[in-house]
Amino acid sequence: MVKSAWLAVMLTGAAWAAGPLPEEGVFGNAARGGGFAQVLEPRAFEFPRDHGPHPEYRQEWWYVTGNLDSSGGERFGFELTFFRFALAPEEVVHPAQPVAAGVESSWRTGQIYMAHFAITDAAHKQFRFMQKLSRGAVGLAGVRNPPLHVWIDDWSLGTIDPEGTHWTLRAAERGYELVLDAQVLQPPVLNGEQGFSRKSNDPGSASYYYSIPRVAVRGRVVRDGKPLEVQGLAWVDREWGSGSLSSAEQGWDWFALQLQDGTALMFYSLRNHDGSRDPNSAGTWISAAGLSRRLASDEVQIDVLDYWKNPRGDRYPAHWRVRVPTEGIDVDVRPVLANQELLTSARYWEGAVDVTGASAGQKTAGRGYVELVGYAAQ
């Protein structure tokens, strides 16, 4: 999802401890036009090249969410995400003519990386998250491709093969370590217009966005030092650009649902401050064979059936009815745990969900991940 301004806030919030959030677009117009490549029209995607970094754009991320079952029957959800954010274009940070004479430090960079790792442990009714921040220098954090390798410290995500079909990931936080091997089951799906995804009517308020909707994962969750064998299904999201949301927009609700019949649904609903849905909201429906179709905003109906309040009194939607009449989809979506809120520098809810209902008119079930941004007082 579009997280640009929000990402800036997360970075700085983390660096300078919690405080009130700024208005959107802090890096502002200077950054918007200021030397970064802009997302203005569709482009040609090429894999595995586009799994790798696009440093000419201001921000980009590698987002993996998934649902896991242990061999003992325990249910887990996980989120591991890496963000790259450029504070200034490369030519500003590293001018062709060095400003001062002498050797330049390899710590000098405008590239900042952030990662979030969260585990939903349904059996223990426990949700845990952790954030990492680092500069993309001296080997502390960065991206290499091919094969893809994204890392901060000892957290990493990458592909083993140059083609990018076999992935691995590893992260650890207090009490939980996650080590997974992943096999891509379907090729990448381009969201929006051939991967060109608009977020508002402002020019440049768009991103390049693709997903890998079905990824088989297998590995282990180490809980309090005890390893558990796990397997399940993950979803990979990739997005990059230089713009941000429009000032009218407040946040978004993002759904990525994987159904038992092999189909999948992605939809993001952009919310305006006045509570209305922005017409640029959109989604993608993916068939069991991996064929995809773009969903316009008016094709998807979402009804909130229930709410959850966090201890500070912020109210999040917590139970939905999602309907896509054109695809015969009518499903009930419920969080696995009510509290899957990440109290990171910017607060948001991202959690594993259960899906029941009908797809193509047939009774089905499934799992997925939902992301809710812009609900919590920051």
Interface with another protein (CB under 8 A):
8-9, 11-17, 19-23, 26-27, 87-88, 92-93, 99-100, 102-110, 112, 133-135, 137-140, 151, 153-154, 172-174, 177, 222, 225
- Amino acid of residue 357: G
Closest approach of another protein to the CB of residue 17, in Å: 7
Distance of CA 268 to the CA centre of its chain: 12
Closest approach of another protein to the CB of residue 199, in Å: 21
Q: Which is nearer to another protein, 291 or 377 (CB)?
A: 377
CA atoms within 13 A on the CB side of 140: 17
Closest approach of another protein to the CB of residue 250, in Å: 17
Residue 67 near residue 233, CB atoms below 8 Å: yes
Q: Is 219 helix (H, G, I), strand (E, B) or coil?
A: strand
Closest approach of another protein to the CB of residue 146, in Å: 20
Q: Which is nearer to another protein, 251 or 283 (CB)?
A: 251
Q: Which is nearer to another protein, 98 or 361 (CB)?
A: 98
Q: Which is nearer to another protein, 24 or 299 (CB)?
A: 24
Q: Which is nearer to another protein, 92 or 291 (CB)?
A: 92
Closest approach of another protein to the CB of residue 238, in Å: 23
Residue 113's nearest CA partner among 149, 152, 139 is 152
Distances (CA, A) of 145 to 135, 157, 160, 161, 214: 18, 11, 11, 11, 22
Q: Which is nearer to another protein, 172 or 302 (CB)?
A: 172
CA atoms within 13 A on the CB side of 207: 25
Report how far residue 149's alpha carbon sits from residue 157's, in angstroms, rounded to the nearest whole number.
6
Quick one: tokens of 367? 């799992």
Residue bearing tokens 């989120």: 79
Residue 1 near residue 21, CB atoms below 8 Å: no
Q: Which is nearer to another protein, 137 or 358 (CB)?
A: 137
Q: What is the DSSP secondary-structure string of 84-129?
A: EEESS-HHHHS-SS-SSSSPPPTT--SEEEEEEEEEEETTTTEEEE
Q: Which is nearer to another protein, 88 or 143 (CB)?
A: 88
Q: Which is nearer to another protein, 145 or 297 (CB)?
A: 145
CA atoms within 13 A on the CB side of 177: 11
Q: Which is nearer to another protein, 170 or 334 (CB)?
A: 170
Closest approach of another protein to the CB of residue 11, in Å: 7
Report how far residue 268's alpha carbon sits from residue 284's, in angstroms, rounded to the nearest whole number.
9
Closest approach of another protein to the CB of residue 138, in Å: 5
Report how far residue 120's alpha carbon sits from residue 68's, in angstroms, rounded to the nearest whole number.
10
Pairing of strands 126-135, 362-373: unpaired
Residue bearing tokens 């370590």: 177
Neighbours of 17 (CB within 10 A): 8
Closest approach of another protein to the CB of residue 278, in Å: 25
Q: Is 154 helix (H, G, I), strand (E, B) or coil?
A: coil
Closest approach of another protein to the CB of residue 135, in Å: 6
Closest approach of another protein to the CB of residue 352, in Å: 23
